[in-house]
A and B are shown apart, each in its own frame.
Chain A
Amino acid sequence: MSETFYALLLRLYPARFRKEYGEEAMRVFRERLRDERGPMARFRLWFDLVGDAGLSLPREYRRVAPALAAVPASAQSGIPLFETLETELPRPGSFFFGTLMAFAAVAGLVFLLNHAGTVRQYGVRFGRYASSPYRGAIAPQGGGAGMAGNGVSAMTPGQPIVWQPPPQPGAQPLYSLDDAERRRILAAVAATLRQSYRDAEAAQRIASALARNEDDGFYDVVTDGGLFGAYVSRQMQAVSGDRGLALIYMEMPMSSAPTVGPDHWINEHFLLRVPVARAAPASPPGV
């Protein structure tokens, strides 16, 4: 058992060290195990070994491989140089752990992509109305248009836009949600879905789910409009399986109530996007 533990400890060392001194180190360990008997001696032995590993492991990993050390001197001749650092094939376990680590890295990246910047993802979709390099600095003037809080204009193509300075850092938010406002928005969302969504049953399920979440206090701490829009959008999508459904928040208030394509006006800061069912293709004559 002790030998197994020490063999595992030795595996922490670089392959170069294990290859050169692994057997010797194991032999030294066996000899110490043979000579140092009794609980105290054994405790001291393991204390020494673990402390020794803690000190010598970083040193061994910092040690430059001889092949690497030889490269600069050989490369001075100007001739391209290729060195093989490891002459042995990796062990099957290395392939396994490499694969495992690669999967973990990809999974972590996907997780981060899905959970970071949820507010902004709607901005990307909204960009088809109008896109601008001056994200966050576009503001509508006059009626008939709005601006998303994430900086993407909600105007229809061709409408005039003017530039305004971006909000100063630390400035008070233009819009903050309270309990009553959230309830009004959710009620308007539910009513719009019942009226306009192509699947009446799904609309009812979404309305029930949103109402239940509000009753359960799920949104109680959410005062940020963008965050609220993202939460509601996710829940609508989860209930319906329709990723086109979205509650879009616009920091700059809209002065009128446009209905542009699939977007329905909820209040001066929110638009509800309800995907429109595609028209069925015309049947060929005689069919």
Chain B
Amino acid sequence: MPKKKLDPLPSAAFQILLALAGEDLHGYAIMRQVQDQTGGRVRLGPGTLYSSIQTLLEQKLIDEVFGEDDAAGGERRRFYRMTTAGRNVACSEAERMAGLLRVARARRLFRGEHV
């Protein structure tokens, strides 16, 4: 059960959980993934990235694993993996946002191709 510290889930933490939904990633790869999944609108700096990672680790929403980075010639570095609790929290947040989206659609806030 996640503690109150991540309720509501901060945007950076949610983006990191989304980035880790597909595969285990190291810090820089998370940063790149977040940039890609937001169309370049969100660029996490190292301070925010590792601060959020630390919070997610403390709340047991992600785990730290050591692995080799193929892109860096097999260099050993820290990877992060989403836990089951992390997945549940990310799902809850996504559902909350989907609910908001439904309300926005019902109120006809969207126009054109987004509808």
Contacts and interface: CB of A to CB of B under 8 A. Distances in A.
Given A20-B54, A21-B54, A28 B47 contact: no
Contact of B47 (A27, A32, A55): A55
A31 B51 contact: no
A139 to B, nearest CB: 65
Q: Which 10 A-B pairs have the closest CB atoms?
A: A52-B45, A56-B47, A25-B46, A21-B50, A31-B28, A52-B47, A28-B46, A28-B28, A56-B51, A56-B48
A202 interface: no
A277 B28 CA distance: 81
A31 B50 CA distance: 15
Interface of B: 27-28, 31, 43-51, 53-54, 77-78
A63 B52 CA distance: 11
A48 B53 CA distance: 18
A231 interface: no
Contact of B50 (A25, A32, A51, A57): A25
Interface of A: 13, 17, 20-21, 24-25, 27-29, 31-32, 48-49, 51-53, 55-57, 59-60, 63
Given A27-B28, A32-B28, A17 B51 contact: yes
B48 A55 contact: yes
A163 B78 CA distance: 80
Given A31-B28, A32-B28, A24 B45 contact: no
Contact of B49 (A28, A51, A59): A28
A74 B103 CA distance: 47
A29 B46 contact: yes
A17 B50 contact: yes
For A24, A48, A55, A60, the residue with the greatest tally of chain B CB atoms inside 10 Å of its CB is A24
For B45, B46, B53, the residue with the greatest tally of chain A CB atoms inside 10 Å of its CB is B46
B54 A52 contact: no
Contacts of B50: 17, 20-21, 24-25
A31 B49 CA distance: 14
A60 B45 contact: no
Contacts of B54: 17, 20-21, 63
